[in-house]
Amino acid sequence: MSEHDFSKRAGGGWRLEHSYAQLPRLLHVAVSPTAVRAPRMAVWNRKLAEELGLDAAAWASAEGASGAAAEIFSGNVLPPGASPLAQAYAGHQYGHFTTLGDGRAILLGEQITPRGERWDVQLKGAGPTPYSRRGDGRATLGAMLREYVISEAMHAMGIPSTRSLAVVATGEEIWRQDGARPGAVLTRVATSHIRVGTFEWVAARRDEAALRALVAYTLQRHYPELAGAENPPFVLLGAVIERQARLIAQWMSVGFVHGVMNTDNMALSGETIDYGPCAFMEAYDPATVFSSIDRDGRYAYGNQPQIAQWNLARLAEALLTVLHPQEEAAIALANQALGGFGERYQRHWLAGMRRKLGLFNEEPEDGALIEALLEWMHSAKVDFTNTFADLERVAPTTWAERWQARQARQSQSLEEAMRLRCANCPAVIPRNHRVEETLAAAEQGDVSVLERLLAVLAAPYDYARARAADVAEYRVPAPDGGEGYRTFCGT
């Protein structure tokens, strides 16, 4: 199938719009992807393509792995209607303010799905932009496949996340601190890429008109029910605080460690974004850190709720000039909104942990029951995921008696409680040693290990399937307990 014939057949699936490009010019710049040498499709998310309204059969058959589909998802050929741009934003990185922007990501446009939903389609690793800061604008195959695996696993668990549509190997070498690596481009899909850092960028330029335009746009795109509010910046701040409180509670409930919770990595949509040095905790320990550059544990597993609140405070600061014309009143409004984060997070966290214990109702001592379990898990160094999945068998007797007495005080049956638990305790997660073996095999040209892992992770709550011999091996922790495991950003 020629490129022309392919575009004619599959091009009807593209319905790209460009509402973000209508925002003030200080928020974006037009830029085209840089061509790569020998693009070849490494992995393709056919189900997501169908949800987006793309002709998945056409993509899959377009001259195989190195044909027209690979040309488009590498950035060599633009899809019909694309108008590529890089987005500007700032960010507090490890607590220090920096001006940033899409240094290696290019937004093709916003795909309108058959259901009328709007999704950003972005190429990550598509070459340098005006925001690259002397970087090469490229990405490594391993880092892009890691994002593909983890983001799709998070989606399967029901945790809001950006999605991964495709990874294309570029046929080029990318140089990083650990030497030459195969290059790749990830096609990332998100409800938007608006970040806390986007607002920080505008606020730093003291452009109040642009800030108000960004507030209105974000409300319309993510919180349309609030668009007519009397104080739009205030209701936006409150809505984002609520979504982030829920999101971080969900991370904590599955042992996810983001690894680099800078403000440019917090999306106002409430989706998990930018899977760099992320990983899943195995042995329960609130101090768990995987990122090789997080030497002080700023973004450790147990610190994530506090860091989220700190990031949200930076959003509130960026909004001060539009929250209220008087600074003192604006600060009071910001503090009022931020003061609710702790209660919101605790409410979502408790609700999630109750579900993991099979509890349908609320009792005052539930928090103490949960904390007692976590304290035992920490001291015993047991696996977080497997403990919740097999609690009846592994919990210490004294605690189990308290738990069983608590269950007995609710009207639902033990069978109903078990179903609730199974729907909230994943049987499989992307275990770190499995992810690493997948990436290593893919870098050698073998994607079968990746395909197998993705198939397992697609049904995290299917316990019948998880007990099968060919899936059970994916539930086993790393042989050495994961001691010393480190992840890298890939930039």
Q: Which sequence spans correspond to the domains of the chain?
A: 3-190
pLDDT (average), residues 244-264: 98
pLDDT for residue 10 is more than 50? no
Residues tagged active-site: 264
| % of the chain beyond a pLDDT of 90 | 88
Per-residue confidence band for 6, with pLDDT thresholds at 50, 70 and 90: very low
The per-residue pLDDT for 351 is 98
- 106 near 193, Cβ under 8 Å? no
Q: Which tens digits make up the pLDDT trace of 119-169? A: 999 999 999 999 998 889 999 999 999 999 999 999 999 999 999 999 999
pLDDT for residue 256 is more than 60? yes
pLDDT for residue 437 is more than 70? yes
Q: Please give the Cα distance from 243 to 283 (Å, whole number).
A: 28
Per-residue confidence band for 491, with pLDDT thresholds at 50, 70 and 90: low
pLDDT for residue 62 is more than 70? no
* Residue showing tokens 């480190």: 486
* Residue showing tokens 């240094």: 103
Per-residue confidence band for 486, with pLDDT thresholds at 50, 70 and 90: confident
b vs e for 325-344, b when ≥16 Cβ sit within 10 Å of the residue's Cβ?
A: eeeeebeebbeebbeebeeb
pLDDT (average), residues 182-192: 97
- Close Cβ partners of 446 (under 8 Å, ≥ 6 residues apart): none
Angle at Cα 84 formed by Cα 78 and Cα 90, nearest 5°? Answer: 145
The per-residue pLDDT for 60 is 56
The per-residue pLDDT for 175 is 87
Q: Please give the Cα distance from 237 to 340 (Å, whole number).
A: 11
The per-residue pLDDT for 438 is 96
Per-residue confidence band for 7, with pLDDT thresholds at 50, 70 and 90: very low
pLDDT for residue 177 is more than 90? no
Question: Between the CA of residue 179 and those of 294, 468, 490, what are the distances in Å?
Answer: 21, 39, 11
| % of the chain beyond a pLDDT of 70 | 95
* Residue showing tokens 């029910």: 225
The per-residue pLDDT for 479 is 86
Per-residue confidence band for 484, with pLDDT thresholds at 50, 70 and 90: confident
23-27, 55-59, 250-254, 339-343: which has the minimum mean pLDDT? 55-59
pTM, two decimals, is 0.95
The per-residue pLDDT for 220 is 97
The per-residue pLDDT for 232 is 97
- 1 near 72, Cβ under 8 Å? no
The per-residue pLDDT for 134 is 86
Q: Please give the Cα distance from 298 to 453 (Å, whole number).
A: 30
The per-residue pLDDT for 66 is 57
Rg of the Cα trace of the chain?
Answer: 23
β-bridge partners, 121: 109, 189
The per-residue pLDDT for 480 is 78
pLDDT for residue 423 is more than 90? yes
pLDDT for residue 63 is more than 50? no
Q: Please give the Cα distance from 489 to 277 (Å, whole number).
A: 5
Looking at residue 50, its amino acid is E
The per-residue pLDDT for 373 is 98
Q: Which two tokens stand for residue 38?
A: 């020998």
Q: Please state, rounded to an integer, the average pLDDT across all residues of the chain.
A: 94
pLDDT for residue 225 is more than 80? yes
The per-residue pLDDT for 485 is 86
The per-residue pLDDT for 67 is 77
pLDDT (average), residues 371-393: 97
